[in-house]
């Protein structure tokens, strides 16, 4: 058997931990598996604090991986004892938005998902969702396993852009655990807050309600194995996405802005939010959207929203510039039609997204290499994903 994440998870389903009725995978004891060559990092979260029980579990895990998969595997196990878990039914809640999301003080990891990338813009309407779906589709085209969580509670547009409007999420049983089946389109798995509301229904998601719904969508969706999970965050720097980014081990954030001054001021605010101590999500880079408009058969570029503002901002803040997307009528049309323009064959638009997705993966790999191993989920097993082949 090959030493990879899938085989390890399957093998560890044979082990139970004292005090848990289910095996360590379905009971959530197994939180994280990373494979780097012959090195395996395993993260456990247990409720039984007895040292003996933990040691026994670690030995069982090592033994079964050595006997069933690869006898020379170098296994490192980190075992965390679950701290006090908030009772969701208790009425001593302070009603703050974050209290619903921070189930444990540690960021939870989503089993099977390698890298979580948040796409953010402090200002609405700058093209955050457009870039999310096109980057996701561009990476799926290259063989990567990609998912999108559309967390834009103010206007979930991913279902329209990916042609899955009206999808009704169904419950499925995975290893006896109830999960929600995501929609799938163009090879991308999609879960959207829009699936739970009717398009013409004016739903005002209240903060705690939205946080709770998003938390469930993240952890209860049957994502399967993903190389990348993109989070299309709501615009702004509100409490909802503060709590969201604190609850998740986000590998990096991408900030989208147009080059105009008002958008840039907001972008600075958004960057500060990710960089503040309590959040500390690395910024993978900035993307300038609606960089200019060039009419067909014309050489002249019209810098409708100002020239190169995001490029200057990235220099000023010493943050990577991931690329620029001009204003394309075909990009808007493709979004409205429900087929991301990045899926087109060798058009100007698709080339732009091919380049930006390549930069995103490069920055992600660089970032994962520089980070201490325990901090975030790292990329592993991207065998079929040509985007990262050197």
For residue 120, state whether it binds ligand ADP (rule: CB under 6 A): no
For residue 25, state whether it binds ligand ADP (rule: CB under 6 A): no
Number of residues that bind ligand ADP (CB under 6 A): 17
Structure tokens at 363: 């920055």
CA distance 331 to 271: 26
CA distance 97 to 74: 41
Q: Is the CB of 4 or the CB of 289 nearer to ligand ADP?
A: 289
- Out of 23, 260, 328, 358, the only residue in the binding site for ligand ADP (CB under 6 A) is 328
CA distance 113 to 295: 41
CA distance 21 to 16: 7
Beta-strand ranges (E) seen in 29-110 are 30-36, 39-46, 74-81
For residue 42, state whether it binds ligand ADP (rule: CB under 6 A): no
Stretch that binds ligand ADP, among 181-189, 212-220, 320-328, 361-369 (CB under 6 A): 320-328
Q: Is the CB of 331 or the CB of 364 nearer to ligand ADP?
A: 331
Nearest one of 352, 370, 366, 362 to 387, comparing CA atoms: 362
Q: Is the CB of 127 or the CB of 147 nearer to ligand ADP?
A: 127
Q: Is the CB of 27 or the CB of 257 nearer to ligand ADP?
A: 257
- Cβ neighbors of 221 (< 8 A, separation 6 or more) are 149, 179, 180, 181, 182, 189, 191
Q: Is the CB of 270 or the CB of 282 nearer to ligand ADP?
A: 270
- Out of 4, 115, 130, 211, the only residue in the binding site for ligand ADP (CB under 6 A) is 130
Q: Is the CB of 185 or the CB of 368 nearer to ligand ADP?
A: 185
For residue 129, state whether it binds ligand ADP (rule: CB under 6 A): yes
Q: Is the CB of 124 or the CB of 166 nearer to ligand ADP?
A: 124
Nearest one of 111, 360, 136 to 255, comparing CA atoms: 360
Residue 214 phi/psi, 5-degree rounding, is -65, -40
Q: Which positions from 232 to 271 touch ligand ADP by CB under 6 A, shown as an x/- string?
A: ----------------------------------------
CA distance 294 to 274: 34
Q: Which positions from 280 to 319 touch ligand ADP by CB under 6 A, shown as an x/- string?
A: ---------xx-----------------------------
For residue 125, state whether it binds ligand ADP (rule: CB under 6 A): yes
Nearest one of 353, 247, 281, 257 to 118, comparing CA atoms: 281
Q: Is the CB of 139 or the CB of 151 nearer to ligand ADP?
A: 151
- 151-210 residues in contact with ligand ADP (CB under 6 A) are 157
Residue 21 phi/psi, 5-degree rounding, is -75, -35
For residue 331, state whether it binds ligand ADP (rule: CB under 6 A): yes
CA distance 155 to 234: 8
- Cβ neighbors of 81 (< 8 A, separation 6 or more) are 45, 46, 47, 49, 54
For residue 124, state whether it binds ligand ADP (rule: CB under 6 A): yes
Nearest one of 28, 106, 37, 50 to 76, comparing CA atoms: 37
For residue 127, state whether it binds ligand ADP (rule: CB under 6 A): yes
- Out of 108, 128, 145, 339, the only residue in the binding site for ligand ADP (CB under 6 A) is 128
Which residues are near ligand ADP by CB under 6 A?
121, 124-130, 157, 289-290, 325, 327-328, 331-332, 335
């Amino acid at each position: 058997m090959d030493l990879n994440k899938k085989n390890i998870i399957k093998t560890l389903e044979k082990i139970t931990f004292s005090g848990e009725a289910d095996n360590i995978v379905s009971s959530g004891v197994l939180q994280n598996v990373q494979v780097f060559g012959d090195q395996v990092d395993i993260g456990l979260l247990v409720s039984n604090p007895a040292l003996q029980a933990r040691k026994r579990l670690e030995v069982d895990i090592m033994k079964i991986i050595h006997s069933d998969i690869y006898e020379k595997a170098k296994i490192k196990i980190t075992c965390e004892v679950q701290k006090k878990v908030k009772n969701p039914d208790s009425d001593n809640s302070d009603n703050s938005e974050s209290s619903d999301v921070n189930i444990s003080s540690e960021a939870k990891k989503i089993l099977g998902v390698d890298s979580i990338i948040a796409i953010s813009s402090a200002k609405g309407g700058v093209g955050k969702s457009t870039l999310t779906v096109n980057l996701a589709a561009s990476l799926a085209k290259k063989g990567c396993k990609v998912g999108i969580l559309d967390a834009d509670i103010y206007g979930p547009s991913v279902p329209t852009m990916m042609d899955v409007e009206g999808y009704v999420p169904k419950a499925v049983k995975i290893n006896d655990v109830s999960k929600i089946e995501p929609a799938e389109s163009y090879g991308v798995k999609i879960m959207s807050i829009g699936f739970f509301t009717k398009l013409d229904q004016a739903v005002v998601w209240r903060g705690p309600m939205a946080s709770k719904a998003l938390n469930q969508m993240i952890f209860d969706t049957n994502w399967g194995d993903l190389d990348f999970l993109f989070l299309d965050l709501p615009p702004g720097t509100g409490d909802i996405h503060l709590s969201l980014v604190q609850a998740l081990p986000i590998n990096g954030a991408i900030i989208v802005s147009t080059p105009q001054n008002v958008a840039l001021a907001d972008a600075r605010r958004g960057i500060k939010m990710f960089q503040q101590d309590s959040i500390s999500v690395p910024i993978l880079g900035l993307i300038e959207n609606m960089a200019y408009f060039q009419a067909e058969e014309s050489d002249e570029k019209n810098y409708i929203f100002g020239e190169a503002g995001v490029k200057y901002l990235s220099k000023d803040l010493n943050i990577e510039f991931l690329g620029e997307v001009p204003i394309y009528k075909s990009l808007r049309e493709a979004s409205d039609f429900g087929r991301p323009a990045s899926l087109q064959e060798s058009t100007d638009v698709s080339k732009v997204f091919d380049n930006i997705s390549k930069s995103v993966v490069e920055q992600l790999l660089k970032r994962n290499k520089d980070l201490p191993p325990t901090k975030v989920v790292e990329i592993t097993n991207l065998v079929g994903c040509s985007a990262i082949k050197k």
